[in-house]
Chain A
Amino acid sequence: MSAERYQSIMAQRAAIMRASVGIDYAKYTTGVLAFDYERLLADTDYDIDATHKVQRTTAVGDTPLVELHNITALVRAVAAPGKGARLFVKDEAANPSGSFKDRRASLSVHEAAKRGYPGVAAATSGNYGAAVASQAAKAGLGCIVVQEAFDSQAIEQPEIAEKTRACEAYGAEVIRLSVGPELFYVFLQVLKETGYFNASLYSPYSILGIETLGYELAGQVKQHTGRFPDLVIATHAGGGNVTGTVRGLLKAGAIDTQMVAASVDLTGLHMASDHDFNRKSFTTGHTGFSMPFTTWPDRADVPRNAARALRYMDRFVTVSQGEVFYITQVLAELEGMERGPAGNTSLAAAFAIARDLDEQQIVVVQETEYTGAGKHPIAQLNLAKQMGIEVKRGDPRDNKPGERIVVPEHPSQIAVVDVDLDDVRHSYLRNAIESLPADTVLDDVDIEFLAAETRSKRTYVQETIDEWYGKRR
Chain B
Amino acid sequence: MTEPIGEGTWVEIHRIVLPAGERAPQVPDDTRQVPLEMRVKGFLVAPASRGEEAEIVTPVGRKLCGVVREINPAYSHGFGAPIAELSGIGREVRALLRERRQDS
Complex: A410 Cα to B96 Cα, angstroms: 10
List B residues 68-104 near A (Cβ within 8 Å). Answer: 75-83, 85-86, 89-90, 92-94, 96-97, 99-100
The 26 listed contacts between A and B (C-beta, < 8 Å) are: A2-B16, A2-B17, A6-B22, A77-B100, A119-B60, A142-B60, A161-B77, A165-B77, A173-B62, A175-B38, A177-B36, A178-B36, A182-B23, A186-B38, A193-B62, A273-B28, A273-B31, A275-B30, A333-B93, A374-B79, A378-B80, A379-B77, A381-B85, A392-B85, A407-B86, A411-B93
Q: With contacts A168-B59, A377-B86, A407-B85 known, is A162 near B77, CB below 8 A?
A: yes
Q: Are B85 and A393 in contact (CB under 8 A)?
A: yes
CB nearest to A372 among chain B residues = B79
CB nearest to B83 among chain A residues = A381
- Which of these binds chain B: A48-56, A99-107, A323-331? A323-331
User: What residues of B have a CB within 8 angstroms of the CB of A76 in the complex?
Assistant: 100
Interface centre among A162, A178, A334, A377 (most CB of B within 10 A): A178
User: What residues of B have a CB within 8 angstroms of the CB of A333 in the complex?
Assistant: 89-90, 93-94
Q: Are A177 and B38 in contact (CB under 8 A)?
A: yes
Q: Which residues on A are within 8 Å of B, measured CB to CB?
A: 2-3, 6, 70, 73-74, 76-78, 119, 142-144, 149-150, 152, 156, 158, 161-162, 164-165, 168, 171-182, 185-186, 193-194, 270, 272-275, 325-326, 329-330, 332-334, 373-374, 376-379, 381-382, 391-393, 407, 410-411
Q: Are A373 and B17 in contact (CB under 8 A)?
A: no
Q: With contacts A2-B18, A74-B97, A172-B59 known, is A378 near B79, CB below 8 A?
A: yes
User: What residues of A have a CB within 8 angstroms of the CB of B24 in the complex?
Assistant: 6, 180-182, 185
Q: With contacts A2-B17, A194-B62 known, is A74 near B27, CB below 8 A?
A: no
Complex: A272 Cα to B29 Cα, angstroms: 10
CB nearest to A407 among chain B residues = B85
Complex: A171 Cα to B42 Cα, angstroms: 11
User: What residues of A have a CB within 8 angstroms of the CB of B23 in the complex?
Assistant: 180, 182
User: What residues of A have a CB within 8 angstroms of the CB of B58 in the complex?
Assistant: 144, 173
Complex: A330 Cα to B94 Cα, angstroms: 9
Complex: A100 Cα to B88 Cα, angstroms: 30
Complex: A162 Cα to B76 Cα, angstroms: 9
Q: Which residues on B are within 8 Å of A, measured CB to CB?
A: 16-19, 22-24, 26-28, 30-31, 34-42, 58-62, 75-83, 85-86, 89-90, 92-94, 96-97, 99-100
Q: B59, B60, B77: which contacts A374 (Cβ < 8 A)?
A: B77
Complex: A393 Cα to B86 Cα, angstroms: 9
Q: Are A77 and B99 in contact (CB under 8 A)?
A: yes
Complex: A181 Cα to B79 Cα, angstroms: 29
Q: Are B62 and A325 in contact (CB under 8 A)?
A: no
Q: B79, B82, B93, B100: which contacts A373 (Cβ < 8 A)?
A: B79
User: What residues of B have a CB within 8 angstroms of the CB of A376 in the complex?
Assistant: 79
User: What residues of A have a CB within 8 angstroms of the CB of B41 in the complex?
Assistant: 168, 173-174
A226 to chain B, nearest CB (A): 25
Q: A165, A178, A379: which contacts B75 (Cβ < 8 A)?
A: A165
User: What residues of A have a CB within 8 angstroms of the CB of B26 in the complex?
Assistant: 181, 272
Complex: A215 Cα to B98 Cα, angstroms: 37
Q: Are B83 and A175 in contact (CB under 8 A)?
A: no
Q: Are B18 and A3 in contact (CB under 8 A)?
A: yes
- Other 17 A-B pairs with CB < 8 A, given A70-B97, A180-B31, A381-B83: A2-B17, A74-B93, A74-B97, A76-B100, A142-B60, A168-B41, A173-B41, A173-B59, A173-B62, A176-B38, A178-B37, A272-B27, A274-B31, A325-B86, A330-B93, A373-B75, A374-B78
Complex: A333 Cα to B77 Cα, angstroms: 24
A281 to chain B, nearest CB (A): 12
A195 to chain B, nearest CB (A): 12
Q: With contacts A74-B93, A272-B28 known, is A152 near B34, CB below 8 A?
A: yes
CB nearest to A374 among chain B residues = B77
B57 to chain A, nearest CB (A): 10
